[in-house]
Chain A
Amino acid sequence: MNLFDYKRPSSIADAVAAGAEPGAAYLAGGTNLLDLMKVGARKPDVLVDISRLPGLGEIETLQDGSVRIGALVRNSDLARDAGFAKAYPAVAEALLSGASAQLRNAATVGGNLMQQTRCLYFYDQQSRCNRRQPGAGCDAIGGETGKHAVLGWTKQCIATHPSDFCVALAALDASVELQGPDGARSVSLEEFYTLPTEDTPGGADVRPGELVTALTLPADAAHFAGHARYIKLRDRTSYAFAIVSAAAMADISDGVVQDIRIAMGGVAARPWRARAAEAALKSKAPTPELISAAAEAALADASPSGDNAYKIELAKRLVHRAIEQALAGTPQTIPALPGSVFAAQAAGR
């Protein structure tokens, strides 16, 4: 690990001022940043410890019914907040399917949002990586690409965003609140992650010094509580990143899908909203044929970026299953194995 200076400002304004200095990085739980620093993938000159900043640790329901989650709320505290988990069960399930209990206890929601890709070549200092060093090239292409993107990639970067949480958030039209040296702004979570272009590698759209202060879920996000699932496929049953994952949430009345949200993880540099799949089911009485058509539509634009064509079929089947499970109704309690396709389907129902 490189030598660095350490600061612990006591106000958001001081933190933003310190964070805007060249070479500064915010430290929250540290579960991603320290990992990257240990392998030299990040070499900040100053760590600005935000973990004790006041006012960023609350989960609040606002007047208009939207919910605001402070950036320092711990992943485990959000998932275990009974009111939150009841209103947004797929978000809780996504959180609990991520990492391990120890990591979720340390990890903050802001850090989860801002975590870096797990692309092996991004981690490996001997490899060329456009994300680490713009213009360097991408050694992932032609290498070990089994876990890389199948949607929205270019030759600049084929990495995926690893978060489970963000997939469920994208389905619910969450937005990100930021505070920077030039003031505050709010941006949709989906847009917050820019996709690679022909000459830029993409990544989280944070400007120098910008601090994520909160996440908000709009009032209509609570309409999906009765029919919401998040499922993820991993190399092992627990404590592993998603190969692919899917969130499906429906608002159903009189047997008709009034509104539906579908998003995928592990497939792109952002949590991927499958709007064509949503359109296939919206305002319809769901049938097996319609669900299959929706799953096909979700991956219609996909193409392998290497040895990962299998992911396209896998994602299709996972979307299919997530829709079926969502339509069957949210389980009474979160399954013993959150997000697992191996959890008994009827678990806790």
Chain B
Amino acid sequence: MTRSLTLTINGTKHDIELEDARPTLLDVLRERVGLTGTKKGCDRGQCGACTVLVDGRRINSCLALAMSHDGAEITTIEGVADGETLHPVQAAFIENDGFQCGYCTPGQIMSAIGLFSENGTANDPEQLREGMSGNICRCAAYAGITEALLDAQTRLSGKE
């Protein structure tokens, strides 16, 4: 049975038709809307590559049924920069070598943005690492990722 749903993705409303109710939010973003910045790593909730914000909260889009989020506001990696100006977290990842191959990076950045909105800021690297433990980096760029988060916090507080 065909299904329809509406998602507001990065501020733009999308009316989406599905053949049936099976697609996950991840598959809808990538295959229907063409936003391939959100990555599929494991498709099982085990890696964090698919992290997006749903109504401001970070979740794994691979374990979210799209139909269940009908009407939601989704933010993906494509929606965080301000025109040509990178989001402070994006800029901090580049500055601090927060990646190698880059496959996990969109998920890392979305997760970091989610973390900052949950906790405010934490200058304890241990707390940051724990807050980011839902994002696996197969290249093990963790040292750079933690540096990037520390730097991003400074950038974000400077902006306020």
Contacts and interface: CB of A to CB of B under 8 A. Distances in A.
A238 interface: yes
B5 to A, nearest CB: 10
B59 interface: yes
Given A30-B65, A35-B44, A38-B44, A102 B21 contact: no
Contact of B68 (A4, A30, A76, A238): A30
A338 B45 contact: no
A337 B130 CA distance: 6
A293 to B, nearest CB: 34
A5 B2 CA distance: 10
A34 B65 contact: yes
B22 A106 contact: no
Interface in A9-61: 27, 29-31, 34-35, 38, 47, 49, 51
Contacts of A103: 45, 59-60, 63, 134
Contacts of A30: 63-65, 68
Interface string B112-143: 00110010000010110111111110000000
Contacts, number: 92
B101 to A, nearest CB: 20
Determine which residue in A6, A49, A76, A237 has the highest number of CB atoms from chain B within 10 A of its CB, and name it: A6
A1 interface: yes
Contacts of A332: none
B38 interface: no
A27 B21 CA distance: 13
Given A336-B126, A336-B130, A338-B130, A102 B67 contact: no
Which size bracket describes the interface of B in this complex? 35 or more
A105 interface: yes
Given A31-B60, A106-B64, A100 B21 contact: no
A38 B43 contact: yes
Interface in B45-70: 45, 48, 51, 57-60, 63-65, 67-68
B36 interface: no
B8 interface: no
Given A31-B60, A102-B114, 6 more contacts: A38-B43, A47-B65, A101-B58, A101-B111, A101-B118, A238-B130
Interface of A: 1, 3-6, 8, 27, 29-31, 34-35, 38, 47, 49, 51, 76, 80, 99-103, 105-106, 237-239, 336-338
13 contacts: A4-B21, A4-B22, A5-B1, A6-B65, A6-B67, A8-B67, A8-B68, A29-B63, A101-B111, A101-B133, A102-B60, A103-B59, A238-B129
- Which 8 pairs across A and B sit closest by C-beta, in order of nearness? A100-B134, A6-B21, A238-B133, A336-B126, A336-B127, A239-B133, A106-B59, A102-B134
